[in-house]
Amino acid sequence: MGSTFIRETISWFAAFSDPFFLRSTLKDYFADILTYLVQLFPYVVLGCFLGEFLKFTSWTKLIFRFTKKHTALSIISAAVLGILSPLCTYGTVPVLIALFHGGVSCAPLIAFLAASSMMNPQLFIMTVGGLGWVIALLRLLCISVFSLLCGFLTLLLPETFVVRDNIRARKADPAPIENRPAKTFTWKKYLHDVFHNLLFVGRMMLIGIAIASFVDMLPMALLFGEIDTSTPVGILFAAAAGIPVYACGGGTIPLIRSLLDQGMSRGSALAFLTVGPATRITSLSAVAAIFKKRFLLCYVIVLLIFSVLAGLLFV
């Protein structure tokens, strides 16, 4: 790091020796937390109600019906349905296994996985509320294109390279998928699930807000040093940072809002938001139950390259 970064770091930490500065900083910190809560919480509530409502629809049968069509159409359909799916990665894994055993090829399943792990209706609503319509729509566009890219690239790979041997050995009759009844809607169950989802998302959002409010106090030099976040190196740095830093979709939005306010480029923000949700340790460990590690490594590499190119395009 250069001399500017060192000076910024020393002066920022030295300022905390002043009691007045410390009290003022803490006051601003909690004020920021309250501001973020007021701005984002309504979107969290709306997203939870919408996401839980979609779970009462026949998603598995719908996905099966569309992913059994012509190859190109099945990939496009899978990407769209993946974005609309309210399921988290752990909820998606059983669906993918059932579809694969039912005769669906790998390509649409990969497109569905990529899309569903990176976007859902709830997250889109929260992105609009926290980052605005422009970034929300660009994020949706990037995820859609990447999902389609993954699906069509998977057509070039043999099934033995993609799917674990123990999963391939247990293919079954697809009939049970089409005959499976839809989940019965009851207000009691619906509101119960909304409440528990709201507790989880709200808790993760609060953690993200606390981190974002802390980041608000940091000079940009402490976060990215002297890296220009509008350059290819800066965008690559932001994309790579999404792998260890990204924890929860809702909780990350305030952090990105804070970084954008401090001068982070839109391209770097998009790169971070594209890589992060698909490369969380929890997500990758769940997906590794179906797909081979070498395929997941290729998936992450392609995602990094794509996110940097997308960031440069929309910087």
- So what's the pLDDT on residue 1? 47
Is 138 a residue whose pLDDT tops 90? yes
Mean pLDDT (whole number) for 295-308: 92
**Closest by CA position to 84, among listed 130, 129, 50:** 50
Is 76 a residue whose pLDDT tops 50? yes
Taking the CA atoms of residue 225, residue 223, residue 309 and residue 304 in that order, the dihedral angle to the nearest 10 degrees is 110
pLDDT-derived band at 59, boundaries 50, 70, 90: low
- Give every CB contact of residue 169 below 8 A, 6+ residues apart in sequence: none
Q: Token digits for 139?
A: 């994020």
Least confident of 105-119, 146-160, 196-210: 196-210
Task: Output the CA–CA distances (angstroms, integers) from residue 205 to 99, 129, 283, in the order listed.
Answer: 32, 13, 18
Q: Token digits for 54?
A: 């979609």
- So what's the pLDDT on residue 26? 82
Distance separating alpha carbons of residues 9 and 19, to the nearest angstrom: 19
Mean pLDDT (whole number) for 127-134: 91
- So what's the pLDDT on residue 179? 56
Distance separating alpha carbons of residues 290 and 262, to the nearest angstrom: 41
Report the phi/psi class of residue 200: left, alpha or beta, with left for phi > 0 and alpha for psi in -120 to 50.
alpha
Distance separating alpha carbons of residues 82 and 276, to the nearest angstrom: 17
What SS3 class is residue 200?
Answer: helix
Identify the DSSP state of 291.
B
Q: What is the pLDDT of residues 272-287, one digit of tens each?
A: 999 888 887 656 776 7
pLDDT mean across residues, the chain? 79
Distance separating alpha carbons of residues 163 and 227, to the nearest angstrom: 39
Q: N- to C-terminal Cα distance for the chain?
A: 24
Least confident of 19-28, 68-77, 114-123, 213-222: 213-222
Measured in degrees and rounded to the nearest 5, phi and psi for residue 163 equal -100, 140
Mean pLDDT (whole number) for 88-104: 72
Q: Rg of the Cα trace of the chain? A: 21
Is 132 a residue whose pLDDT tops 60? yes
Distance separating alpha carbons of residues 60 and 175, to the nearest angstrom: 12
Measured in degrees and rounded to the nearest 5, phi and psi for residue 248 equal -145, 140
Distance separating alpha carbons of residues 112 and 93, to the nearest angstrom: 11
306 or 198, which is more confident: 306
**pTM of the full structure:** 0.73
Q: Token digits for 221?
A: 């030099």
pLDDT-derived band at 218, boundaries 50, 70, 90: low
